[in-house]
Homo-oligomer: A and B are copies of this chain.
């Protein structure tokens, strides 16, 4: 993964509002959640939520699929995985720290 792409994704998760949206989608699992449901849960104005979702989609962290009039949003788990991998690589490339090892052991 390129550094710039990673930075974009990290930035996308770097605002509490968006991180909460993303967390909600992650917790919803592979079935995803309609936009309206997210809005109900988090109490965000529709236009604001749409804006944040768009940003998350642009970075590839979230996908959308149309079902009739509602749009289902899903967390893109492989993308998250890649991002975690990038961060872990940074950490353990030359450092020899126990970071990833701890995670794996836990």
State the A residues within 8 Å of B (CB).
3-4, 6-8, 10-16, 19-20, 22-23, 26-30, 75, 77, 80-81, 83-85, 87-88, 90-91, 93-97, 99-100, 102-104
Interchain CB contact under 8 A, B29 and A96: yes
How far, in Å, is A62 (CB) from chain B's closest CB? 13
| Cα distance, A23 to B10, chains bound together (Å) | 14
User: Which residue on chain B has the smallest CB distance to residue A83?
Assistant: B87
Interchain CB contact under 8 A, A93 and B7: no
Chain B residues near A94 (CB-CB < 8 A): 27-29
Chain B residues near A15 (CB-CB < 8 A): 7, 11
Chain B residues near A96 (CB-CB < 8 A): 29
Interchain CB contact under 8 A, B19 and A91: no
Interchain CB contact under 8 A, B103 and A85: yes
